[in-house]
């Protein structure tokens, strides 16, 4: 599946360089990140909370009983081998899971204390508050760079007084403004993969979500673009809650405050352990987590 | 750096010796074909053509087998069989085109495309009267058919690809069945359903409806295919920003498939532009302008062709050929316009 693509494209993947990513260096990275981060963290609402989430594809039980708290203003990384349910889980958090035919789920996902799966709730309003960035950059091909960023306004039918300001703000926050400010009218397909992905981040920001879900946002990108996006994530984490699925443990250590480890032992995927990122990488409680972060399997 | 000393090379290209061998085998095959035709009762262009390919299969295989063995022979045979098929198909297309152009061009003159036939008959000498009324009539019918079938076809395709409701299987089946409907049946349907049962009499509008029946399945099936090519990612990206499904389809999916949807329309027009049978029941024939699509018979190019060929005199047959050529040109112009209109959207 996609994972094999990722192995070849992502030079910093664990299994490519097991010797460089010793647990101590990962935990060093995470510890450094933790030091710098705490100063900037500020409370922003009550965040997102998953309670006992299960997910099925038809009869296949893909995810079993995951409960996770995402405090407002934090970055949480979801790690784990392929097929462990990370992506399925992240898609239940903004109700994208239900777009795949014959799926079902159980459990609750609370945004600011309210269940987003409550009957009668307006799903479009939920997705407006919980934005998403996908694995493959997917700018709208029929629109220019500027139109792409502002497309959410049209799609979600929002009114904004000053579109130009919003355009500049979103592109600046996504770290793309200086590169594209002179060609906002050009078509988005002409951008490089990394620029396209940052454009997609800018597009997701334009509707002012409280939470941003990122499903392996860097897996198709080169190291330089990956670095830019990680900088972008660090910037964004000051003002929003971010959940990022990644196969790159260096990345998890660099950008996240908390890390959750998912694993499937052949049955449904489960969350094995969650904790502050530097603890997960320096002294994980579960042996399976330790085996994974030290590169002994996965 | 003396870069100019580096020679550009194409080591994979055929060497002069290879080319000489290929030329020799073709030459030998041609000679063989001529020889066989000369000594046997087989005659005609088709005999030369078939014998040449047969001889070439054998002779070229003899050349190849020495160098590349039986694998090379099989590879060469497969290549020749596909070439054979391609040549046959293009011969058919080009001979149709050639017949139309060579026969049609003799009857073309300014009057033929700027006048009508009110003062002239099909049997008058060429140069008197023209088929402008039929050109306008055909364009009007195509326009009516587009107005009905493009929205219907695209909406049906959207139901099949985006909504995916319970009726998908049934509709898919009906669309496929409809695309097999003989065109005369479409005309008869309009005739039986409307002309026999209502005060409405034959008119351009009813002809457009008959053509719509033929055009809808083509548009639907092509539109469905191009909509299926729009990546699911794009739909999810739209929905993930809090859009309703309707907004996502209207602002993301359809624009992304725009040029493909134009192609669907073009294929639909190609399907109906030359239809004659359904028009005979629903539009009739007429020799002058009729700008009212709701009342009265209408001249159309296919019916001019039909009447011309039925007429049987050299003049009327000539008019038929020229009308076919005009129809080809009209359709070609429409396609070029549609393509240039469609390519204004970004390619990548």
Q: Give the predicted TM-score (pTM) of the model.
A: 0.80
Rounded to a whole number of angstroms, the distance from the CA of B226 to the nearest CA of chain A is 14
Domain span at residue B56 reads: 16-105
Name the domain count of chain A: 1
| Residue B162, Cβ density class (10 Å: 0-12 exposed, 13-18 middle, ≥19 buried) | middle
- Residue A19 in domain: yes
Number of Cα atoms under 13 Å in the Cβ half of residue B214: 30
- Residue A149 in domain: no
- Residue A152 in domain: no
Name the domain count of chain B: 2
Domain span at residue A261 reads: 2-136+213-282
Instruction: Tell whether B150 and B100 lie within a shared domain.
Output: no
- Residue A24 in domain: yes
Instruction: Tell whether B44 and B185 lie within a shared domain.
Output: no
List B residues 221-240 in contact with A (Cβ-Cβ < 8 A).
231, 233-240
ipTM: 0.80
Number of Cα atoms under 13 Å in the Cβ half of residue A211: 28
- Residue B110 in domain: no
Say yes or no: B1 contacts chain A, CB-CB below 8 A: no
pLDDT of residue B76: 87
- Residue A164 in domain: no
Say yes or no: B346 contacts chain A, CB-CB below 8 A: yes
- What distance in Å separates the CA atoms of residue A137 and residue A151, rounded to the nearest whole number? 15
- Residue A157 in domain: no
Which residues, 6+ apart, have CB-to-CB distance to B111 below 8 Å?
A: B127, B128, B129, B130
Instruction: Tell whether B161 and B274 lie within a shared domain.
Output: yes
CB contact under 8 A, B255 and A142: yes
- Residue A261 in domain: yes
pLDDT of residue B328: 94
CB contact under 8 A, A96 and B239: yes
| Residue A218, Cβ density class (10 Å: 0-12 exposed, 13-18 middle, ≥19 buried) | buried
pLDDT of residue A113: 86
Mean pLDDT by 10 residues, chain A (298 residues): 40 42 64 57 64 93 92 91 92 92 92 90 92 93 94 91 92 91 92 93 93 92 88 89 92 93 91 92 91 81
Rounded to the nearest 10 degrees, the angle between the axes of helix B204-229 and helix B258-272 is 140
Instruction: Tell whether B78 and B149 lie within a shared domain.
Output: no
* DSSP secondary structure code for residue A161 in this structure: S
- Residue B319 in domain: yes
Using CB atoms, pick whichever of A101, A126, A138 lies closest to residue B233.
Answer: A138
Which residues, 6+ apart, have CB-to-CB distance to A170 below 8 Å?
A: A149, A202, A203, A205, A206
Phi and psi at residue B135, to the nearest 5°: -60, -50
Using an 8 Å CB-CB cutoff, list residues of chain A that contact chain B: 94, 96, 99, 101, 124-129, 131-132, 134, 136, 138, 140-143, 151-152, 154-157, 187, 189-190, 200, 203-204, 207
CATH number at residue B278: 1.10.3720.10
Tens digits of pLDDT across chain B (348 residues): 555 688 888 888 888 888 888 899 999 999 999 998 888 888 888 888 888 988 998 898 888 888 888 888 899 899 999 999 999 999 999 999 999 999 999 989 998 999 898 888 888 888 888 999 999 999 999 999 999 999 999 999 999 999 998 999 999 999 999 999 999 999 999 999 999 999 988 899 999 999 999 999 999 999 999 999 999 999 999 999 989 999 999 999 999 999 999 999 999 999 999 999 999 989 988 988 999 989 989 999 999 999 999 998 999 999 999 999 999 999 999 999 888 877 665 443
């Amino acid at each position: 599946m996609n994972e094999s693509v990722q192995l070849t494209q992502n030079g910093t993947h664990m299994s490519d360089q097991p010797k460089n990513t010793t647990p101590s260096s990962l935990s060093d990275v995470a510890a450094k990140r933790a030091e710098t981060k705490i100063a900037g963290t500020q409370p922003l609402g009550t965040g997102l909370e998953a309670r006992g989430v299960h997910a099925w594809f038809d009869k296949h039980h893909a995810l079993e009983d995951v409960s996770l708290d995402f405090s407002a203003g934090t970055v949480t990384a979801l790690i784990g081998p392929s097929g462990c349910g990370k992506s399925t889980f992240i898609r239940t958090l903004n109700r994208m899971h239900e777009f795949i035919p014959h799926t079902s789920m159980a459990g609750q996902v609370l945004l600011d204390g309210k269940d987003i799966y409550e009957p009668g709730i307006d799903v479009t309003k939920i997705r407006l508050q919980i934005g998403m960035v996908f694995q493959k950059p997917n700018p709208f091909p029929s629109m220019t760079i500027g139109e792409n960023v502002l497309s959410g306004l049209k799609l979600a039918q929002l009114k904004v007084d000053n579109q130009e300001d919003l355009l500049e703000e979103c592109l600046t926050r996504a770290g793309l403004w200086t590169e594209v400010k002179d060609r906002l009218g050009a078509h988005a397909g002409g951008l490089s993969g990394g620029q396209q992905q940052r454009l997609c981040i800018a597009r997701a920001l334009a509707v002012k979500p409280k939470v941003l879900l990122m499903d392996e946002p860097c897996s198709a990108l080169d190291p330089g673009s990956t670095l830019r996006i990680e900088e972008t994530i660090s910037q964004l984490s000051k003002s929003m809650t971010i959940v990022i699925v990644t196969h790159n443990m260096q990345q998890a250590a660099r950008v996240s405050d908390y890390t959750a480890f998912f694993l499937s032992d052949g049955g449904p995927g489960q969350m094995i352990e969650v904790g502050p990122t530097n603890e997960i990488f320096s002294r994980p409680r579960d042996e399976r987590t330790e085996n994974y972060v030290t590169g002994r399997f996965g | 750096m003396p870069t100019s000393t580096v020679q550009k090379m194409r080591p994979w290209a055929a060497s002069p010796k290879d080319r000489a061998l290929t030329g020799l085998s073709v030459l030998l095959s041609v000679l063989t074909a001529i020889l066989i035709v000369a000594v046997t009762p087989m005659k005609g262009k088709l005999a030369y053509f078939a014998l040449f390919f047969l001889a070439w299969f054998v002779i070229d295989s003899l050349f190849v087998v020495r160098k590349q063995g039986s694998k090379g022979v099989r590879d060469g045979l497969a290549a020749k069989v596909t070439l054979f098929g391609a040549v046959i198909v293009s011969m058919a297309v080009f001979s149709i085109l050639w017949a139309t152009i060579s026969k049609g061009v003799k009857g073309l003159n300014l009057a033929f495309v700027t006048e009508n036939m009110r003062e002239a008959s099909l049997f008058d000498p060429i140069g008197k009267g023209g088929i402008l009324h039929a050109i306008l009539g055909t364009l009007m019918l195509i326009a009516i058919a587009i107005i009905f079938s493009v929205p219907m076809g695209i909406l049906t395709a959207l139901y099949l690809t985006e909504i995916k409701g319970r009726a998908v299987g049934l509709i898919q089946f009906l669309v496929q069945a409809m695309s097999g409907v003989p065109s005369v049946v479409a005309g008869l349907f309009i005739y039986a359903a409307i002309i026999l049962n209502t005060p409405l009499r034959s008119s351009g509008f009813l002809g457009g409806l008959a053509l719509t029946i033929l055009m809808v399945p083509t548009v639907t099936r092509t539109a469905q295919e191009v909509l299926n090519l729009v990546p699911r990612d794009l739909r999810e990206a739209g929905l993930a920003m809090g859009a309703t499904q309707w907004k996502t389809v209207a602002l993301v999916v359809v624009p992304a498939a725009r040029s493909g949807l134009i192609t669907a329309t073009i294929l639909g027009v190609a399907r109906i532009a030359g239809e004659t049978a359904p028009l005979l029941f629903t539009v009739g024939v007429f020799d002058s302008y009729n700008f009212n699509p709701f009342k009265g018979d209408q001249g159309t190019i296919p019916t001019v062709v039909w009447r011309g060929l039925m007429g049987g005199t050299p003049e009327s047959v000539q008019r038929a050929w020229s009308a076919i050529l005009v129809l080809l040109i009209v359709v070609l112009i429409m396609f070029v316009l549609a393509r240039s209109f469609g390519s204004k959207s970004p390619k990548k």
